[in-house]
Structure 1
């Protein structure tokens, strides 16, 4: 059960990474504003997913699901940050 839960959260976290790789202009134009919007949307969707997953399936040990979900989220958020940094550095080298 927890494996399926974490796979779904990983999929939700990979979507912004794919968006940034396909459309790098998202990073170039007003980086902080775009990052804040993507982060807020991502954290809201994942928080709602965790809430619905725990309370609709009546999971007794919900703390493990919350902690593993946010560790998964943090891992992919760091990867997204590294990809954004790489795109920004490539853009600075071209100038």
Structure 2
């Protein structure tokens, strides 16, 4: 199991950008997002501006999906789970970097 999890994490890290899919009032939307994977907890964190569409679509216990794809390497990953909005300055400071400015 550990080897399978590590392989999944390696694929996510290698691809980098995911399509984040959310649902609100029966409407399904996807948009590209670059996040940071925390292997110890299995969490993937993303930065976004409060008040943007995706932030409004994510509420506590909201089902979401992340789809990673690299056709050149024939690597495809689909992850489903719950998305949560958090405002945590320590986490923002940890996540912030050149990739986050986009």
> Is TM (by shorter chain) over 0.5?
no
Larger strand percent: 2
Larger helix percent: 1
Q: Please, what TM-score do these two structures have when normalized by structure 1?
A: 0.29
Q: Please, what TM-score do these two structures have when normalized by structure 2?
A: 0.27
Q: Give the structure with higher Rg (CA).
A: 1
Structure with the bigger RCO (C-alpha within 8 Å, sep 6+) is 1
